[in-house]
C-alpha cells in the first residue's frame, strides 16, 4: 500500500522533548580577556605613565624628582534580563511532552554568553571613556585599512594585514603578550582561498585546509578566533561593506563581571505561572589603545 493511501486514523508520532535551535553555546571571547570584579554603579581605573631613568651628572646634586603622568579609564556596567512564563497547566496540557523549563535555563545561559561577547566586542572596537571625571571619549587609534597592501582596492583579509597587526603589537612592546584575533567566517574563507597564503609554510604547519578552519590556531603570531558576531560597516578608504576583524592582547581588554542571577518563581499575579528569569550586570573596557587593532576586511 502506498504511503499516501494509509487510512486517516493512523496515529502521528510526536517528540516528547524540546530541542533548542542552533545557537552559540559558549562565549568566544571570555577566555581571552582579563576578569575584573565589579561593585558599584561605575568604576574608575587609575593608570600611571612610563618613567625614565636620568643620567647622573655630578656629585651630591639636588635629587631630581620625576613626576608620573596619570591616566584614567572608566567602565559603567549595563543590566540585562530575560524572562519567560510557563502556564500553571502547561505540565498537564502538554501530556507526555516534557516541560521546557530546564531547556529554557540553558538557553538563558546561551543568551548571556552572546551578550557577553557583544559587550567585549564593543569594548575592543568602540569608544573608551577616559579622563579624571569620565567625560571624554577615546576612539581606537590603530586600524589596518580596507585597501592595505592592495594599491587602492578594497580587499578581504590577507596575510599582509595579519602581519601588519603583529607589527603594531611589536612596535608597542607587546610582543610577549598573548595576542588574539577574531575574524568572521567570510574573512576566514578569504585567507583559506588565497593561493599565496595557502602556499606559505605557515599554512603548511597549521594545516587549516585539512581541519577546515583557523579556529584555535596561531597564524602570524595571532591566536585565531572565528566569530559570527563581528560588526559590519563602511571602509576607511574604499566604497563597499567591510567587516571589522578585531585584534587585541588578552591582558588589556578587561571584562567586569557584575554577577549573573537566575530566578524561578511562581507568579501569583499571572495565575500562578512559573516564571524563569535571568538577569546579568556586566561591562568591559579597553585598557589602552596600543593593545587593539581593528582590521577592515571587505565582504563579497
- Reported as a single tens digit per residue, the pLDDT across 192-240 is 887 556 566 666 667 776 677 889 999 889 999 999 999 999 999 998 8
Q: What is the pLDDT of residue 37?
A: 87
Q: How far is CA 201 from CA 196, 208, 219, 226, in A?
A: 10, 12, 11, 21
Arithmetic mean of pLDDT, 175-201: 83
- Domain of 72: which CATH number? 3.90.1690
* Domain span including residue 220: 23-49+68-300
Q: What average pLDDT does the segment 176-204 reach?
A: 81
Residue 208 is assigned to a structural domain of this protein: yes
249 in a structural domain? yes
Segment 234-257, tens digit of pLDDT: 999 998 899 999 999 999 999 999
Higher pLDDT, 182 or 24: 182
Asked whether residue 14 is assigned to any structural domain, the reply reads no
Determine, yes or no, domain membership for 152: yes
pLDDT of residue 10: 54
Q: Is residue 63 part of a domain?
A: no
Tell me, yes or no, whether 1 lies in a domain: no
Domain count, the chain: 1
In a domain, 13, yes or no: no
Query: Quick one: how far is CA 236 from the chain centroid?
Result: 22
Q: How far is CA 188 from the centre of its chain?
A: 16
Question: Percent of the chain, pLDDT > 90?
Answer: 51
Of 131, 156, 129, whose CA–CA distance to 144 is shortest? Answer: 156
**pLDDT digits over 93-106, tens only?**
555 545 555 677 78
With respect to residue 56, please indicate whether it lies within any of the assigned structural domains.
no
Amino acid at each position: 500500500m502506498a504511503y499516501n493511501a494509509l487510512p486517516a486514523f493512523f496515529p502521528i508520532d510526536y517528540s516528547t522533548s524540546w530541542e533548542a535551535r542552533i545557537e552559540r553555546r559558549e562565549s568566544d571571547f571570555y577566555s581571552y580577556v582579563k576578569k575584573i570584579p565589579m561593585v558599584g554603579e561605575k568604576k574608575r581605573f587609575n593608570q600611571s605613565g612610563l618613567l625614565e631613568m636620568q643620567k647622573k651628572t655630578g656629585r651630591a646634586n639636588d635629587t631630581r624628582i620625576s613626576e608620573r603622568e596619570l591616566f584614567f579609564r572608566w567602565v559603567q556596567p549595563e543590566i540585562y534580563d530575560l524572562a519567560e512564563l510557563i502556564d500553571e497547566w502547561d505540565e498537564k496540557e502538554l501530556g507526555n511532552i516534557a516541560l521546557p523549563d530546564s531547556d529554557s535555563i540553558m538557553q538563558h545561559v546561551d543568551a548571556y554568553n552572546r551578550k557577553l561577547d557583544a559587550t567585549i566586542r564593543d569594548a575592543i572596537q568602540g569608544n573608551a571613556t577616559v579622563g579624571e571625571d569620565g567625560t571624554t571619549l577615546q576612539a581606537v587609534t590603530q586600524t589596518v585599512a580596507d585597501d592595505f597592501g592592495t594599491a587602492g582596492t578594497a580587499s578581504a583579509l590577507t596575510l599582509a594585514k595579519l602581519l601588519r597587526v603583529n607589527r603594531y603589537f611589536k612596535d608597542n612592546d607587546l610582543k610577549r603578550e598573548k595576542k588574539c584575533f577574531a575574524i568572521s567566517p567570510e574573512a576566514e574563507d578569504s585567507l583559506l582561498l588565497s593561493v599565496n597564503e595557502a602556499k606559505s609554510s605557515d599554512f603548511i604547519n597549521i594545516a587549516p585546509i585539512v581541519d577546515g578552519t583557523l579556529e584555535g590556531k596561531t597564524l602570524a603570531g595571532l591566536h585565531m578566533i572565528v566569530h559570527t558576531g563581528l560588526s559590519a560597516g563602511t571602509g576607511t578608504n574604499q566604497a563597499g561593506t567591510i567587516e571589522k576583524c578585531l585584534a587585541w592582547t588578552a591582558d588589556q581588554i578587561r571584562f567586569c563581571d557584575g554577577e549573573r542571577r537566575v530566578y524561578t518563581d511562581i507568579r501569583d499575579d499571572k495565575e500562578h505561572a512559573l516564571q524563569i528569569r535571568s538577569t546579568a550586570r556586566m561591562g568591559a573596557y579597553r585598557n589602552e589603545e596600543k593593545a587593539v587593532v581593528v582590521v577592515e576586511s571587505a565582504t563579497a
